[in-house]
A and B are shown apart, each in its own frame.
Chain A
Amino acid sequence: MMPRSFARAAVLPLLLGGCAYQRYQSDFGAAGVEDRQFLTLFWIFLGVCAFMYALVIIFLGAGIARSRRAAEANVVETGRHHRSHPLMRSTLIGWAALIGVGLAGLAIASFFTDRSMAAAAANEKLSVTVTGNQWWWDIVYNSGDASKTLRTANELHLPVGVPTRIILNSADVIHSFWVPSLAGKQDLIPGRENDIIIVPKTIGMFRGQCAEFCGVQHAHMSLVVVVESYPDFVKWWSHQLQPAPMPTTPLAMAGYKYVTTGPCSACHSIGGTTAGGLVAPDLTHLASRRSLAAGTLPMNEGNLYGWVEDPQSLKPGVHMPTIGLEPDQLHAVVAYLETLK
């Protein structure tokens, strides 16, 4: 029983490889134009490399098999009169030519993939600025109309089929923006502005993760990407533009007062309130997001309690301090945060 289930556990992912089960965060996700182009090029490279590898192994194996027969002759072929097989020199030239042609082919394939990625990205329809911070993502949806500019964090919504330019900055160290199922990575470098254009092709939820080591909690700097239909996306945007609703229950009201006047507001901002800190994630629609602390925890009441009470034990080293809330304050703050849908 035991070995069989183990075997299944080991073999299934091998067989599925890049199939549905690993769409969430995987080079095999094929949910964006860039990743699809990557995969095509990857299989071409793999094919060519496997062919070259097979040649090497066949030559090696044949050489070993051939030489074993002659092994009993312990004769040395010395420097002055050693002989090679007469064809060996021309084979060497052929081998060099084969490598040259193979590499040239791969380089050209790589070049054209690169250019077609650039071409697919040429007509962007949407622009989002993502700023890397130790260890979370600040996200701003740019719009010509200032009232439609949206600031959020750690959850990126993209309309399917729409080329979106993501402008990349960093507020501290170098990070790298990487949603493998959609596209390759691009660094966020302080003092520089990079960009990457993503054309999502599949509706669904994907996970991205910082790919450049950025300090203690590099492992917990991830990002939820939601690809949705254009109407859903517009609905989401206009909802997110709404200011936070005033709480209706007394408990949430107490939380509202604590959050907007207490230490939280020094770093966080909540639309429609006096909380206006800019160094930590925007909380206006916190409870509508799917994760907490840049993908560290799924969003639910229990995790909100745990996170607000003691972030340092859940994500050690995070810049959010453990404040030491009294139990009634904690209840109130969580009750308020849960209203931020």
Chain B
Amino acid sequence: MTDVRADTFDLGRRENERERVEAENRRLEQERKKIARDGPKLKGEKLASRLDATWRRPPGIIGWLASVDHKEIGRRYMLTALAFLVLGGVLALAMRVQLAQPDSALISAERYNQLFTMHGSTMMFLFAVPVMEGVAVYIIPLMVGTRSTAFPRLNAFSYFMYLFGGLMLWIAFALNIAPDMGWFAYTPLSGPQFSPGKRADVWAQMITFTEVSALAAAVVLVCTILKARAPGMTLSRMPLFAWAMLVQAVMIIFAMPAVALCSSMLISDRTLGTNFYNAAEHGDALLWQHLFWFFGHPEVYIIFIPATGFVSEITATFCRRPIFAHAVVVLALISTGILAFGLWVHHMFATGLPRVGYSFFTAASMSVSIPTGLQIFCWLATIWDGRPRFQVPMLYVVGFIITFVIGGLSGVMVAAVPLDLQLHDTYFVVAHFHYVLIGGAVFPLLAAFTYWYPKITGRMMDETLGKISFWLVFLGFHLTFFPMHWSGMLGMPRRVYTYPAGLGLEVPNLLSTVGAFVLAAALGLFVINGLISLYRGVIAGPNPWGAPTLEWLTSSPPPVYNFAHIPVVESDTPLWDSADGEYPVVTGLRVDQKETLLTTVVAAAPDTREPIPQASLWPFISAIAVGIVFVASIFSPWAVAVGVIPCFIALTAWFWPKELKRHPEPVIT
């Protein structure tokens, strides 16, 4: 037997290996030096054209579908959501026409029930949440000073899921299989026994689409806000809109699984014959309400909290000073986000739960007005101490405060059990939540559209038309919804397709109908202003309002790569505090590949360079594959089992690495 010197053999191999690695490293070092980066040598026009070539997506319809540019996706989100706002608004007008007079027979009971179900579902799931996400997906990367959102392909996927869910619901409406059991679809009315046919399934799967979409967008936003902020933008310097979106996105991540669970259980009751909600088989009809409202109440804050972010940004800009007590506002946002998960039972005060529980949820519901009240104080103090200019966005902020506070106070009323037992499920509650959702979220949204319109389009919206439409929105809104407090007190339940004469309901209902048309005309004027200003608006510079945050540092509209150099932040109002000349920037990011800078979560110290994926069709194809599963599962539960296969293929292709060889600086291509 020969004595094999394994150790020397190994040593030799190791020596060889070491040399080989060193040679490779030297080669990579050489190559790395050749990589083009932004910096003192590469700047201005030359840098811009290099970056543009790297970041621009392919042209044409394929490129459009494959785009992962957050600005493009954000624009699509906003426009789609506005289209759904118009559709939902038309349904509202139809309902108001029906209710203008007692015992009206213009619209049948069946159709009317579809109208309010579609109106609520469209406004909550297809307008309010997505439009906030749309604005955030567009603005947040600019505001925190980065070149892209985190996970841009997931972002594209989230938009397509949202679009398909919305289309499915509205195509079903056109085919007369729209849901008709109310936007919160209480079981057992929505169950197999009392809603035969496909109407309830369409609703439940629309929910599934928007859940997936909202969760994906929330993950994108959380990661962007926590990891992609410009260096120096510590958490304490982070703009309040970014804070609001961080809180909102985390809330989505906690709230959506509850509705995913309850809508899946509903689908399963309806198609597989389970009995989660069937009391006759030891299921429980109230289980639905607990799960739905565990999502549904936070949902209201998911809509409202981004709006407070708009208000904070706009108030600071137009009052020419930072928001009073920045830390208080941040803490208020966070505590609202936490408290929102502890109040769901106030939607169920009439269901006969134990009285001790009611007292707890009354106190919890009322306590949420403390952080909100503090935020309102901070805005008022900012106005008091600042030098406000009352241009259109600021007018909406003032209109917001006047209107939202009424909704907040009527919310305190319905939080009290003895009051809620009378007011619950009446027009008083309809008035309350429209004050909170339109006054509290749509007014700030209109402000935000006017405020960021020049950033997105490069032109200003017309100020005169804007002021006219503001006053019409404000008056039309109050004319529509204030009388509803009154009709509710006079005993008008919600969701009735008609009401008898002689109960005193004629006048408030007629006023509401007139107001609804004024409000619709005002919103129409707002949209027309947006369209006209696209061509005729005054050209806006990078920072037409003199705002302090980073999105106003880059050109309007921003280039596809957002910033030629990533900015460095040294205060909480960076654009106000920088001297007039050069703004401090980070250099050294690659320009031959899409790349951005990641920073640490709290201190925003530079952490690593992050490659950004190229445009890809796979998110779109995955969305189609998943969409087919969701739609087909309305008709057969087997669709889930079979449909997993195309989803798996599409997702595998999405994540397939194209380049496996060693690279000086690995990038995903």
Chain A: residues with CB nearer than 8 A to chain B? 9-10, 13-14, 18, 21-22, 24-28, 34-35, 37-38, 41-42, 45-46, 49, 52-53, 56-57, 59-60, 62-64, 66-67, 70-71, 73-80, 82-85, 88-89, 91-92, 95-96, 99-100, 103, 106-107, 109-111, 113-114, 117-118, 134, 168, 172-174, 176, 178, 180-181, 183-187, 189-192, 194-195, 207, 209-219, 316-317
Contact = CB atoms under 8 A, between A and B. Distances in A.
B418 A37 contact: yes
B387 A74 contact: yes
Nearest to A41: B418
Interface string B411-430: 01100111111111110000
B325 interface: yes
B51 to A, nearest CB: 30
B189 A76 contact: no
10 contacts: A41-B419, A59-B384, A63-B384, A64-B383, A103-B369, A107-B366, A176-B350, A191-B280, A194-B351, A216-B110
Interface of B is mostly: helix
Contact of B491 (A9, A27, A103): A27
A82 B322 contact: yes
A84 B381 contact: yes
Contact of A56 (B351, B405, B426, B507): B405
Nearest to B504: A22
Contacts of A213: 113, 181-182, 186, 189, 425, 494-495
Interface in B340-378: 350-352, 355, 358-359, 362-363, 366-367, 369-370, 373-374, 376-378
B250 interface: no
Nearest to B577: A78
B576 to A, nearest CB: 4
B502 interface: yes
A95 B321 contact: no
Most buried by A among B369, B416, B548: B416
B573 interface: yes
Nearest to A69: B387
Given A27-B422, A38-B418, A194-B352, A111 B384 contact: no
B355 A110 contact: no
Given A110-B416, A110-B417, A213-B181, A79 B573 contact: yes
Given A78-B577, A219-B109, A185 B425 contact: yes
Contact of B409 (A52, A100, A111, A317): A52
A172 B418 contact: no
A186 B421 contact: yes
B14 to A, nearest CB: 57
Most buried by B among A64, A110, A134, A174: A110
Contact of B425 (A21, A80, A194, A211): A211
A155 B490 CA distance: 21
Contacts of B193: 172
Interface string B305-335: 0000000000000011110110010000000
Contact of A190 (B188, B417, B490): B188
Contact of B324 (A88, A103, A109, A218): A88
Given A64-B388, A103-B369, A114-B358, A25 B490 contact: yes
A339 B141 CA distance: 78
A4 B391 CA distance: 39
Contacts of A195: 352
In order of increasing CB-CB distance, the 8 nearest A-B pairs are A191-B279, A184-B421, A110-B416, A219-B496, A194-B352, A63-B384, A77-B321, A79-B573
B489 interface: yes
Interface of B: 108-110, 113, 180-182, 186, 188-189, 193-194, 279-280, 284-286, 319-322, 324-325, 328, 350-352, 355, 358-359, 362-363, 366-367, 369-370, 373-374, 376-378, 380-381, 383-390, 398, 401-402, 405-406, 409-410, 412-413, 416-426, 488-491, 493-499, 502-504, 507, 511, 546, 548, 571-573, 576-577
A42 B419 CA distance: 7
B401 A80 contact: no
Nearest to A190: B279
A189 B285 contact: yes
A71 B388 CA distance: 7
A89 B388 CA distance: 20
Nearest to A70: B387
Nearest to B511: A10
B385 A85 contact: yes
Contacts of B421: 38, 183-186
Contact of A67 (B284, B386, B402, B409): B386
A10 B514 CA distance: 14
Contact of A24 (B113, B409, B502, B573): B502
B419 A192 contact: no
A28 B546 contact: no
B627 to A, nearest CB: 30
A284 to B, nearest CB: 26
Given A38-B418, A173-B189, A103 B367 contact: yes
A80 B497 CA distance: 58
Contacts of B386: 67, 77
Contacts of B189: 173-174, 213-215
Contacts of B350: 176, 184-187, 211-212
A144 to B, nearest CB: 25
Contacts of A22: 490-491, 503-504
B426 A211 contact: yes
